[in-house]
Amino acid sequence: MLEIVLLILIILITLIMFFAGVKFTRYFLKSNTLLNRLLFFAFLCFSFGFGYDFVRIGFLSYFGDILYSLDKLGFCLKIFFNCVTISTLLHIFLIITRQSGVPVKYESAVRYFYYGMVCFLTIFNIYFFDVVTLDSGNIYVFQIHPVTLLISLVAYIPAFIYIIFKIFKIAGKINDKSLAKLNLFFGFSVILLGFERCANNIIYSPIFSFIFGSSLYGLLIDFSIVFVMVIFLSYYLFFGKIDLLESTSTYFCLKTLYIIKKESGHVFYEHEFRAGESSSALLTDRFLLGGFLYAITQGLELGLGLSGDIDIIQAGKTTLLLRHGKYVFGLLFTIEYTRTLEEMIRKFMDRFEQSYASVLENWPRDLSAIRMEQLNAWTLELFKRF
């Protein structure tokens, strides 16, 4: 009976993950940013680990046997992909932390260390593991060796604790309360997912066998937790706020916005999103900046025929989004390009040119006709709040 309940639960989780995966894949194809690539990769790795459990439990329940060497290979790959999932989610967290202005010290070393742990734990697990036969039915499970468990705890628990503290700092920097709450939810979901993936491979290890014994109840509890997590993540991330990571990245990536007259290169409007940090370090004089941008814009239009659209220019660690309008062009300095930023500057430019079309067409070189408080309000509305 427990085997049937467990199989039904796994099928339900698989169906939910399939539809969530289809929706996320469609979104990913439209917004192929670094964070979305990492999240998509983590989703695939987690799906492999869960799919392996689904296939083997189905085989053992209905056929009573499975090729041992193939089963062992699947278990080793599961451990590998589980570790990759956790390390990739940690990589995402490090990127968001850096973009928020509170980077982790020695970020590259931390990232390489945890990807190194993936290789070490995978290789170690090939030679050292436990096989536990359950009392109920013909199902047996592979479990990681106690030494592997100890190494994993020493390596990952400090990271999880550190993430908890950082989550609150990041959420505290976001004035959008809804976005802040979703980031808290996402952060704690990552932690719970990490613990679940670890627990999935240790519930029948000698250290924890006194809790679950050797019955199917342990697996049933574990997959019930996965079911609840998948339901919530599917709703809040894939259906409720599918662009959560991109929205958070966008919130922290913004640096400076410029609106510049096409014919003269005069800077109409300038907004620094990060107080005390000048994004125009390439050209500190705003009039020189306007002339420079006017020159390169004309060069792009004449040489490449790019007009009326958005050009992306990479300048070191800074990305420039250049939006061509009828009378003016907008320039947005960012840390990283996202599709959301492109939509934001497009909306801002369209609203600006529609509202001041008569002034821009016959500009008297008098900025008093431009209401700066209105432009500031649009910036806060369309981009972010500081």
| Tokens read off for 280 | 């125009």
The confidence band for 235, taking pLDDT boundaries of 50, 70 and 90, is confident
More confidently predicted of 214 and 21: 21
Domain segments of the chain: what residues? 2-242, 254-382
The confidence band for 12, taking pLDDT boundaries of 50, 70 and 90, is confident
Q: Which class for 137: exposed (0-12), middle (13-18), buried (19 or more C-beta within 10 A)?
A: middle
Mean pLDDT of the chain: 77
**Cβ distance 348 to 379 under 8 Å?**
yes
- What integer pLDDT is reported at residue 90 of this predicted model? 85
- What integer pLDDT is reported at residue 304 of this predicted model? 42
The CATH class for the domain spanning 2-242 reads: mainly alpha
Query: Where do the DSSP E strands lie in the chain?
Result: 129-133, 140-144, 254-261, 267-272, 310-315, 318-324, 328-334
Question: How many CB atoms lie under 10 A from the CB of residue 258?
Answer: 23
Give the Å distances, CA to CA, from 363 to 91, 287, 326, 366: 49, 17, 13, 7
pLDDT at 386 over 70: no
- What integer pLDDT is reported at residue 303 of this predicted model? 43
The CATH class for the domain spanning 254-382 reads: alpha beta
Summarised one tens digit per residue, pLDDT across range 21-69 is: 888 888 777 777 788 888 889 888 888 888 888 888 778 777 777 888 8
Spatial distance between the Cα atoms of 318 and 137, rounded to a whole number of angstroms:
59
Most confident of 70-84, 103-117, 317-331: 70-84
Summarised one tens digit per residue, pLDDT across range 294-346 is: 555 555 444 444 444 667 777 667 788 888 888 888 888 888 777 778 888 88
Of 46-55, 96-105, 202-211, minimum mean pLDDT range: 202-211
pLDDT at 95 over 80: yes
- What integer pLDDT is reported at residue 63 of this predicted model? 75
The confidence band for 159, taking pLDDT boundaries of 50, 70 and 90, is confident
Of all helices (H) and strands (E), which one includes residue 62?
helix 34-62
Spatial distance between the Cα atoms of 17 and 233, rounded to a whole number of angstroms:
10
- What integer pLDDT is reported at residue 306 of this predicted model? 46
Spatial distance between the Cα atoms of 375 and 259, rounded to a whole number of angstroms:
10
Summarised one tens digit per residue, pLDDT across range 264-304 is: 677 788 888 865 554 444 444 444 455 555 555 555 444 44
| Tokens read off for 352 | 């600006």
- What integer pLDDT is reported at residue 279 of this predicted model? 45
Give the Å distances, CA to CA, from 119 to 79, 107, 126, 150, 332: 10, 19, 11, 16, 41
